[in-house]
Each structure stands twice: as structure tokens, then as C-alpha cells.
Amino acid sequence: MKSGIDYFPLDVTLDEKFELIEAQFGLKGFAIMIKLLQKIYGGEGYYAEWTTEIALLFAKRIGANGSAVSDIVSAAIKRGIFDKTLYDKYQILTSKGIQKRYFEIVSRRKNVEVKREYLLFDAAILRKNADNLAENVDIFPKNAYISEQSKGKESKGKESKGKKRKVEESRGENPPSPPTDCNICLREFLGKHKNVIVDNCSGVNLDMIDYDLLEYRFAESSYLSDRVHELSWIAKNYVRISAGEFKDRTLKSKSGITEKVQRVLQMVKEEEVNEADEN
């Protein structure tokens, strides 16, 4: 099961801790910090392991100097951007802010696997309506829980209801209702996007859809959010949608920041090449 997320929010005005990192290390410090956040949110979602070996590979992948990355991470821990206690104990990078934002973003997921000892908040605060946590267990929202008994009742009446629905739809008496296996995430998504029509979804896989990502793609596309689309069309075109093919808006929380980071890293590489030539 996927733990990470495909986007994360970044305030337009950074707090003093970030400003001090940029003041000390320049744009290189800012770029590396954003890359670290991308690693955390895109990986485990609310933390990232940080050993000497992982740090070296991270520096290589982003084209930065290993010692520079180490210095920036140390400064970030010192200034409280990352939690020092959890870093010293488990060699991970995380913070209350990171965990709060992560669990807010994944709040619609049916279950989220977490490591209890890594949490800086009480689980019930991090995720509303969550059951008690044990080590490496899933969090299930109470309103997403369906008992086996209710499932049995649903299956018994499904056949007769299905026949009745087909007759009514053929007569045009009632619009098609959402699929019987429609989960909480889909229901919430449909509630937000009234332009999505629930049609006959037989032959399409709704379970493959990441509704957090789909929500983001709708936000960055007027074509998706402002026009009428059938649910089956969304499912059939999900690969294209998730790849951002319909994007016609720029959201600072993702694309704008990423482009800025890439420009800064390119500047850093050019500076290092020039320094090497001079030496």
C-alpha cells in the first residue's frame, strides 16, 4: 500500500527557521530543504530514514555536495525544523508540522499504516475518528468501517435491487446511483465535484484511483473541474489524468516550487563547476 503523497503544501511566506537556513547557506540551503521535504512526503509520507549511506545517495541524486547536505541537515535539526529526539533515537527526519500536514492530506484514505513510536502527536489528534494504534498497524476511520454483517445483508439484496435499477434506468425513471462498492473516498470526491456524473462503471476499475491525487489534478485543471464528466470517463482516463495531461493551472504548492528548486539546483551545480575550474 502506498504511504507517500504526490503533493504537499508550502507556505508562500516561510517561517524564520527556514529563513535562517537560507541566510546561512544561500539558495542552495533552500533548494536542499525542499528536496528533503519531497523525499519525506513522497516516501513514507511523515518521516524519512536518514543514515550516512542514505545521505550520500541523496546528495548524489540531487547533484549536491555530500558535506553541504550534511551541514544543512545538521542546521535544520539544530533549529528545530526536524525533531532532534527522534533523529537521535531512530535516525529519521520528521517534525510535528510534517506529520500534521501529512495526516490532514491522507485523512480520506481508508487506512494508513504508521509506526507508533515515530508519532509526535496523539493518533486521535492526527487523524479524526481513528482507532487506537499499535506498532505497525492500520488506522481505520470509524465512518469507513463496514461490518461483515452489513456486508452480508447488502449482498442478499443486491441481486433484486440490481434488476429493479436496470428496469428503472431503461425507462428513464431514475438516474444511475453510485456503484455498490463505492468507498468513502469516492463519496467525498463526488460530493465536492457536482460536475461528475455517476454512470455505468462496469468494466472500469475504481479501486486503482488515488483520490488525493485526483483531487489535486482537478484543482490544477479547469478542463476537469469546470466541465461535466462521467465517472467512467475519469476511470478510463485516470492514467492520463494522474500524469497531469489536463493541467492548465499552476499551483504553487507543487509545480511552482518544483521548478524553482530545479533552477536553484542548476545554479548550484554551475557554481560548483566554476569553483572546481578555478582550483
Domain termination residue (choose one: 128, 144, 160) = 144
Indicate whether 201 belongs to any domain.
yes
The average confidence (pLDDT) of the chain is 74
Measured CA to CA, the distance from residue 86 to residue 22 in angstroms comes to 24
Indicate whether 192 belongs to any domain.
yes
61-101 pLDDT, tens digit each: 999 999 999 999 999 999 999 999 999 999 999 999 999 88
Indicate whether 86 belongs to any domain.
yes
Please tell me whether residues 76 and 180 are part of one structural domain: no
Of 46-60, 112-126, 215-229, where does mean pLDDT reach its minimum?
112-126
More confident position, 184 or 1: 184
Please tell me whether residues 70 and 111 are part of one structural domain: yes
Q: At how many degrees (to 10) do helices 96-105 and 27-42 cross?
A: 50
Indicate whether 135 belongs to any domain.
yes
Q: Is the pLDDT of residue 18 over 70?
A: yes
Please tell me whether residues 37 and 124 are part of one structural domain: yes
Q: Is the pLDDT of residue 260 over 70?
A: no
| Total domains in the fold of the chain | 2
Please tell me whether residues 81 and 122 are part of one structural domain: yes
Indicate whether 262 belongs to any domain.
no
Please tell me whether residues 136 and 181 are part of one structural domain: no
Please tell me whether residues 192 and 135 are part of one structural domain: no
Within 13 Å and on the Cβ side, how many CA atoms surround 259? 6
Owning domain of residue 224: 176-248
Considering 45-54, 167-176, 234-243, the range whose residues carry the highest mean pLDDT is 45-54
Mapping DSSP to helix (H, G, I), strand (E, B) and coil, where does residue 195 land? coil
Give the confidence band of 254 by pLDDT, cuts at 50, 70, 90. Answer: very low
